[in-house]
Chains A and B, each alone.
Chain A
Amino acid sequence: MSTTLKRVHGYLAEFDSVKALYHAAEEVRDAGYTRWDCHTPFPVHGLDAAMGVKRSKLPWFVFFGGITGTTVAFVLQTLTQTNFWSSIGLGFLETIAETYPTVVQSKPTDIWTLPAFFPVMFELTILFSAFTVLFGLLALIGLPRLNHPLFTSKRFAKFSDDGFFVCIEARDAKFAQEGTKEFLEKIGAKNIELVEDDI
């Protein structure tokens, strides 16, 4: 559906090569823009620094995800196999979960059977961490989403083949319809396009 009302998303500028894009990114960063991004078919080494992007916070999420996995495995195993929780005065947990120590293989039913629980603790640490990586990543980058104004540009599809783009968004405080275009021309952009989105 298209209406006559359009909203300016920003300027999309194409660059010839990785090298041109890299130097352009440094220029855009130094010019003080904040709401902008590079679009490339593959991660370009060093572009984060050229753009002034900070390190991802994802590892922190994953750290806590991993700890959750270890804890879940520890509680699951000690609660269902040992009398550890009642020995530290939390026997009501065993009552609630309706569990009792499993006496098999001549193994002790106190906490000292813990080494037998290490493999599952390890595996669940990895499993929970991996899920945190996936969902943490999606949360940080705001995907999946069904559409994006940039996809209205015909040329933009090249980003997944061999196109290198810079997009400066209209919501950037420094954005100016004429000034930004001139700036992009000055730093060597080849095809500059005003991307508009249907309202």
Chain B
Amino acid sequence: MAATDSASHPEPGAYTALDREPLVLNNRSFSWITNRICGIIENKQPFLWWILFIPSVALTGLTAFCFTYLISTGVGVWGQKQPVAWAWDITNFVFWIGIGHAGTLISAILFLTRQRWRTSVNRAAEAMTLFAVMCAGLFPAFHVGRVWMVWFLAPIPNANAIWQNFKSPLLWDVFAVSTYFTVSVIFWYLGLVPDLATLRDRCKPGVKKMLYGMFALGWRGANRHWSHYETAYMLLAALSTPLVLSVHSVVSFDFATSVVPGWHTTIFPPYFVAGAIFGGFAMVLTLMIPVRAIYGLHDLITPKHIDNMSKIILLTGTIVGYAYCMEFFMAYYSANPYELQTFKMRGLYGPSTWAYYWMFFCNVFAPQIFWFRKMRTNLWAVMIVCQFVNAGMWFERYVIIATTLERHLTPGSWRVYTATWVDKMTFLGTFGLFMMLFLLFLRFLPVIAIGEVKAVTPEADPHNGDSHEHGVQENDVMGYEEPASTYPGGVKPAATPA
């Protein structure tokens, strides 16, 4: 141990072994952080913002048009026909809800595990979560057929005093997704309050100041408030952690609790959760890498952040790959001929094997280049892999949903599913909705949590620059003598008088 330590630090005195890579580069001051992040909102938006915003609004209109067409004409305009009753709509729902998992994962799980790097990306990821869940919610709402009856999903008895079937995973899903959205909004808003106060204090008196002030709730940064606030934030993180794991588990129950071969598997909940995190992080990177470049946030979103997120993509992608293989193996090992036949037709000779291969390539093979640090720090490579993952995760849901139903139990009911233009345009339009909401978020709210980023700078530590420099403990808490290699130059410094 001692030999390697001294070997890796050749220069005596230049001791850095216990120094961490800084989370904010170039020793930026508190006011620099405030100015840079608030500047995004206060300055004129770059031309590119409009170039992205206008088509996004147009695409949102496309979705609105498609849904109007669907309602006015009938569900036949979608490609679903028996036995493929769930197709693009549910695929899109699961796709978007999966993307909506990264935000809460970053906010909650990384908060509880003290991953301080989360502060630079959590705000945008949480916002993205909300927008993705909004896009997701549209599909099941219209999938019910008569969208004006969608209130039947709420726990209210209908005219015949018949209540919802609480034993159905579809109803569990209603509760899971609506709870997830509500709790995510609370979490996001609570995190925004101190930053809204910053914006309020920078605004000139007027409508803007009034609005920011109203939503900042009169926040004045009092430590007696921070004390309760931090407890509240931690509680929400602790509540959201099981919640985020439950949401996609419940989504997977929609399939796993059925008796359809290819769906009725116990691996679904963990496999769906890993896939959701995987797809969600890809979308976070897809959005944050351009935001970082356009708004000059290089000192706040550092290569370390991108590196960490790429590692998570590699990990979850590999878990997903394991699940794909294990699914296949269990189909064989279960000795259930229907299950095995389903998988053979999914992956070997069915009508949609191309989708299966796409899924496998995008989700399992593409992220493997992240084993190399060079690839994780190359933004183009990261962006390309993320696009593969975004596409791959859509294909995964398509494979699970549509290709399974295409080859149902009886060959007599087999049918090749094809999507109509309405299916495709509706889905395309939700990207517009998602982008439009995200661009408005960039325009009006701080994209990075100002207060939280300040709190992870060295100056925010009240003991910054005190003794114990570079993390060396002069007196070990356990009473053991430190090895000589712990000290700069291998020489123990003289004890400082108390």
Residues of A at the B interface (CB closer than 8 Å) are 17-19, 21-23, 25, 37-48, 50-51, 53, 55-56, 58-59, 62, 76-77, 80-81, 98-100, 102, 104-105, 107, 113, 116-117, 119-120, 122-124, 126-127, 129-131, 133-134, 136-138, 140-141, 143-148, 150-151, 156-162
- B462 in complex: contacting residue of A22, A122, A133, CB < 8 Å: A22
Task: Offer 8 A-B interface pairs, CB within 8 angstroms, sorted by A.
Answer: A21-B462, A37-B222, A42-B460, A81-B167, A107-B167, A120-B172, A137-B229, A160-B219
**B231 in contact with A58 (CB, 8 Å):** yes
A-chain residues with CB within 8 Å of residue B161 when the two chains form the complex: 98-100
Q: Looking at the assembled complex, report how far the CB atom of A84 sits from the nearest CB atom of chain B, in whole angstroms.
A: 13
- A19 in complex: contacting residue of B232, B236, B454, B462, CB < 8 Å: B462
Q: Looking at the assembled complex, report how far the CB atom of B157 sits from the nearest CB atom of chain A, in whole angstroms.
A: 8
Q: Looking at the assembled complex, report how far the CB atom of A102 sits from the nearest CB atom of chain B, in whole angstroms.
A: 6
B-chain residues with CB within 8 Å of residue A146 when the two chains form the complex: 218
Q: Determine if B155 is an interface residue (Cβ-Cβ < 8 Å).
A: yes
- A77 in complex: contacting residue of B166, B187, B253, B465, CB < 8 Å: B166
Chain A proximity mask over B194-235: 1 for CB below 8 Å, otherwise 0: 100110111000000000001001111111111111111001
A-chain residues with CB within 8 Å of residue B236 when the two chains form the complex: 130, 133
Known: A19-B464, A129-B239. A117 touches B231 (CB 8 A): no
Docked Cα-Cα span, A151 to B243, in Å, equals: 39
Closest to A99 in B: B163
B-chain residues with CB within 8 Å of residue A44 when the two chains form the complex: 223, 226, 455, 460, 462
**A161 in contact with B176 (CB, 8 Å):** no
B-chain residues with CB within 8 Å of residue A127 when the two chains form the complex: 179, 182-183
Q: Considering the complex of A and B, which 10 residue pairs feature the smallest CB-CB distances, nearest first?
A: A22-B462, A162-B30, A144-B217, A80-B163, A56-B231, A119-B172, A42-B455, A160-B198, A157-B201, A116-B167
**B175 in contact with A120 (CB, 8 Å):** yes
Docked Cα-Cα span, A47 to B223, in Å, equals: 8
A-chain residues with CB within 8 Å of residue B223 when the two chains form the complex: 25, 37-40, 43-44, 47-48, 51, 53
A-chain residues with CB within 8 Å of residue B166 when the two chains form the complex: 76-77, 80-81, 116-117, 120
**B176 in contact with A119 (CB, 8 Å):** yes
Q: Determine if B337 is an interface residue (Cβ-Cβ < 8 Å).
A: no
Docked Cα-Cα span, A131 to B187, in Å, equals: 10
**Chain B interface secondary structure, helix, strand, loop or mixed?**
helix
Docked Cα-Cα span, A108 to B168, in Å, equals: 14
Docked Cα-Cα span, A120 to B246, in Å, equals: 11
Known: A41-B451, A104-B165. A18 touches B220 (CB 8 A): no
Docked Cα-Cα span, A14 to B95, in Å, equals: 51
Q: How large is the interface on B (under 10, 10 to 19, 20 to 34, 35 or more residues)?
A: 35 or more
Docked Cα-Cα span, A129 to B224, in Å, equals: 22
A-chain residues with CB within 8 Å of residue B226 when the two chains form the complex: 40, 43-44, 47
Q: Determine if B34 is an interface residue (Cβ-Cβ < 8 Å).
A: yes
Docked Cα-Cα span, A16 to B30, in Å, equals: 12
**B451 in contact with A42 (CB, 8 Å):** yes
A-chain residues with CB within 8 Å of residue B214 when the two chains form the complex: 144
Residues of B at the A interface (CB closer than 8 Å) are 29-31, 34, 155, 157, 161-169, 171-172, 175-176, 179, 182-183, 186-187, 190, 194, 197-198, 200-202, 214, 217-232, 235-236, 239-240, 242-243, 246, 250, 253, 450-452, 454-455, 459-465
Docked Cα-Cα span, A102 to B158, in Å, equals: 14
A-chain residues with CB within 8 Å of residue B157 when the two chains form the complex: 80, 98-99
**B218 in contact with A143 (CB, 8 Å):** yes
A-chain residues with CB within 8 Å of residue B217 when the two chains form the complex: 138, 143-145
A-chain residues with CB within 8 Å of residue B169 when the two chains form the complex: 119
Q: Looking at the assembled complex, report how far the CB atom of A154 sits from the nearest CB atom of chain B, in whole angstroms.
A: 11
Docked Cα-Cα span, A171 to B230, in Å, equals: 27
Docked Cα-Cα span, A162 to B459, in Å, equals: 11
Docked Cα-Cα span, A18 to B17, in Å, equals: 26
Known: A41-B454, A43-B455, A120-B175. A159 touches B239 (CB 8 A): no
**A161 in contact with B186 (CB, 8 Å):** no
**A134 in contact with B186 (CB, 8 Å):** yes
- B246 in complex: contacting residue of A40, A50, A119, CB < 8 Å: A119
Docked Cα-Cα span, A88 to B214, in Å, equals: 51
- B218 in complex: contacting residue of A53, A56, A145, CB < 8 Å: A145
Q: Looking at the assembled complex, report how far the CB atom of A150 sits from the nearest CB atom of chain B, in whole angstroms.
A: 6
A-chain residues with CB within 8 Å of residue B454 when the two chains form the complex: 41-42, 162
Closest to A165 in B: B221
**B194 in contact with A124 (CB, 8 Å):** no
**A122 in contact with B194 (CB, 8 Å):** no
Q: Looking at the assembled complex, report how far the CB atom of A140 sits from the nearest CB atom of chain B, in whole angstroms.
A: 5
Q: Looking at the assembled complex, report how far the CB atom of B25 sits from the nearest CB atom of chain A, in whole angstroms.
A: 18
Docked Cα-Cα span, A191 to B416, in Å, equals: 76
A-chain residues with CB within 8 Å of residue B235 when the two chains form the complex: 58-59, 62, 129, 133
Most buried by B among A18, A48, A156, A160: A160
Docked Cα-Cα span, A84 to B224, in Å, equals: 47
